[in-house]
Structure 1
Amino acid sequence: MGKHRKLNKGQLRRMRANQQKRLQQVELTQELDDASLGTAEPGVIVSRFGQHAIVAAEGNAEQFRCHIRRSIESLVCGDEVVWRRFSAQAGSQAETGEQGVIEAVQERKSLLSRPDYYDGLKPVAANIDQIFIISSVLPAFSSQIIDRYLVACEDIDITPIIVLNKADLLPEQTTELQAEIEQALQMYEAIGYQVVRVSAKTQGGLDTIQTLLQDRVSIVVGQSGVGKSSLVNALLPEIDADVGAISTNSGLGQHTTTVATRYALPQGGFLIDSPGIREFALWHLDESRVAWCFIDFRPFLGRCKFRDCKHQPQDPGCALQEAAETGELHPLRLYNFHKIIESMASTKPSRAIPRGSKK
């Protein structure tokens, strides 16, 4: 490959002049934009669509479609922002439906992210107080999925609340399945997690959910098909969120919510409906962090005979295995922990480095 020729003085001068001209054009455009904008106002992101977002003005009285400045690197539902309205003279913006510009994002109090195989950690919603983990009798109850969400909640220090939806269908299931679900829910209650049994169809248990939602910012998460949108509709019938059926081919839920959306609650507080996902990956965490996020493991961590203990049945002197044998630790939690660790190794992208890694 040949060497690049050095630019002579004339070429350098012309190149710098062109660069300066482009900078001046950018600055002029910025000045024209500023002239068409009002004063800065606080707001909250209701939902985001590409380079646009819906902003709720202070007091949540009005909502506006706004353009997002390119200087903003990350923006999600629930973010507190500084934005400016277009003036009445900004006709070109009015034609596109834009009503303002988002200028800056305030520091987040919390952030829920979802690991994505192609995009890395993908933020879902910000400034959340509590997370409602929605499970259901159908399409399939899974304590492993619940434990994945619990790990995610503990990792970012947000209060989780476990919700069994479609509880009205439980008596119709086999005796074995009823016992499996009830034992799992009792296990979580014994650990210290709050568990609520509800039915969006019969309205059973919704009063408890309404009380828990009051004056808090909450988000509902869970597998597709567990009835998140049906539950949101039961809590806020005026929004009429799309509801999907269970796939007859796979038995899995079909995605109905496509973007996270924030709704004001009549009793005070806000509820965020998030896109459904069939599995919550945790490959962004290292094994020791996952173990710490199992809160019932914490009294036994660091007490194993060997520092590199993997907590398998064949590992001598494992404190977690001994606790499971004596009944101090539920064996199902230890089983789910190992299934999570196994899945992390198989689903982690080759370029990903788990949080907490020294690499």
Structure 2
Amino acid sequence: MSKKKPLSQGQRRRMRANQDKRLQRKDSGSNAPELQDSSLEPEQLGTVISRFGQHADVETESGQVVRCNIRRNIQSLVTGDKVIVRLAVEMSSTIAGVVEAVHPRFSLLSRPDLYDGIKIIAANIDQILIVSSIVPSFTTQIIDRYLVAAEDTGISPIIVLNKIDLLSDEDRPEVEAALQRYRDIGYQVYQISSHTGQGVDDIKALLNKKVSIFVGQSGVGKSSIINAMMPDAELAIGDVSQNSGLGQHTTTTAKLMHFASGGDLIDSPGVREFALWHLPPERVGECFIEFREYLGTCKFRDCKHKNDPGCAITDAFNDGKIAEDRYKNYHKIIASLNEMRHARQFRASDE
């Protein structure tokens, strides 16, 4: 008897996805019967607090939060979406409403996924707080990736350095200099410690009357900061792995929360690296804000901004008008674009 050919990664992934779908259908059929139009109240406005598979938790204008089915014609629904919802006349089931439609978004945050293409994380955001920290490690490369993502969406970014109570006197000058370079090009930068409370009130003031989202690598302390500002949130806090030095994922789905003083905060799933391979190189350059006045002035239209003769970006760098780490991080991001696209093509061919 011939030996069976082992399943590819793509086949195994599809099998797991089909099993999950069957389980969801089974759960939906036993616990969440389909609500009929005759059993629903008139339409009203709501906000998606969180999304769970085929269901969403929606908050109405009266402050009531209900779990709802999602109409099949709705192609995309994420935390922060403004929706039209109809609640059940009798709240006799775990599913107590139906999302009928989604209002147009004025902003959205998305990231590329090797399997699913562009994945939307949250919608209708006013500002992005890019959280870095001293532990697991402070790196401007990750900050710059998030800044590119923020600039691409047009959502205002704010840089937050957490765990400054762990900053040694030896490392302080280098970290302070790096943060000052961001201030010099126009970014807001804050230093805080969720452990001691230093600077937490400053961040809380920034969030007042705005919809904000925290992004950053796992382990930088996003959940700790939120707990410091919202003691009632009680988000799970992950430690940094002793083996990998990376943070442990503690948030599994984006969730919108309210400040008593006003303003909303979306806590998003942690990502260890914010890939940008969906952006063309030209767009990455535009998202480095200090590059903009030089773009389009290079000698050659296809300039790579590295060793090309007559490159305005390289000349600006050599003249000290562009910081060295920003210049190097730009080229690291450009180099990573092809690597990630190749990885996606490889996975696609495996399916």
Please state which band the TM-score falls in when normalised by the shorter chain. Answer: 0.7 to 0.9
Number of the residue aligned with 1:84 = 86
Number of the residue aligned with 1:160 = 157
Partner AA of 2:256 in structure 1: R
What do the CA deviations read for 1:304-324 (whole angstroms, capped 9, x no partner)?
111111011x21111111111
Whether 1:146 and 2:139 are equivalent positions in the alignment is no
The CA distance in 1 between the partners of 2:138 and 2:115, in whole Å, is 28
Give unpaired runs (5+ residues) of structure 1: 1-30, 353-359
Whether 1:33 and 2:26 are equivalent positions in the alignment is no
Following TM superposition, by how much is the alpha carbon of 1:303 offset from its aligned partner in structure 2, in angstroms? 1.2
Query: What secondary structure sits across from 2:125 in the alignment?
Result: coil
Contact (CA 8 Å) 2:35, 2:97: kept in 1 or not?
A: no
The CA distance in 1 between the partners of 2:305 and 2:69, in whole Å, is 51
Number of the residue aligned with 1:338 = 331
Q: What aligned pairs does 1:305-344 form with structure 2 within 5 A after superposition?
A: 305-312=299-306, 314-344=307-337
Partner AA of 1:221 in structure 2: V
Whether 1:101 and 2:104 are equivalent positions in the alignment is no
Following TM superposition, by how much is the alpha carbon of 1:178 offset from its aligned partner in structure 2, in angstroms? 2.6
Number of the residue aligned with 2:65 = 63
The CA distance in 2 between the partners of 1:197 and 1:236, in whole Å, is 19
The CA distance in 2 between the partners of 1:254 and 1:197, in whole Å, is 22
The CA distance in 2 between the partners of 1:71 and 1:105, in whole Å, is 10
Query: What secondary structure sits across from 1:322 in the alignment?
Result: helix
The CA distance in 1 between the partners of 2:317 and 2:153, in whole Å, is 27
Following TM superposition, by how much is the alpha carbon of 1:299 offset from its aligned partner in structure 2, in angstroms? 0.8
Number of the residue aligned with 1:200 = 194
Cα pair distance change 1:76/1:284, threshold 3 Å: same
Following TM superposition, by how much is the alpha carbon of 1:179 offset from its aligned partner in structure 2, in angstroms? 2.8
Query: What secondary structure sits across from 2:316 in the alignment?
Result: helix
Following TM superposition, by how much is the alpha carbon of 1:350 offset from its aligned partner in structure 2, in angstroms? 2.4
What do the CA deviations read for 1:99-138 (whole angstroms, capped 9, x no partner)?
1011100000101001111111100000000000000000
What do the CA deviations read for 1:224-279 (whole angstroms, capped 9, x no partner)?
00000001100101010000000010000010010000001111110011110000
The CA distance in 2 between the partners of 1:339 and 1:288, in whole Å, is 14
Q: What is the aligned counterpart of 1:280 among 246, 254, 274? A: 274
What do the CA deviations read for 1:277-332 (whole angstroms, capped 9, x no partner)?
000011111000000010000011111111111011x2111111111111111121
Following TM superposition, by how much is the alpha carbon of 1:207 offset from its aligned partner in structure 2, in angstroms? 1.4
Cα RMSD between the aligned structures? 1.5
What do the CA deviations read for 1:151-182 (whole angstroms, capped 9, x no partner)?
1111110000000000111136xx2x333321
TM-score by length of 2: 0.87
Alignment identity in percent? 55
Number of the residue aligned with 1:54 = 57
Whether 1:184 and 2:175 are equivalent positions in the alignment is no
Partner AA of 1:204 in structure 2: Q
Contact (CA 8 Å) 2:78, 2:121: kept in 1 or not?
A: yes
Give unpaired runs (5+ residues) of structure 2: 1-33
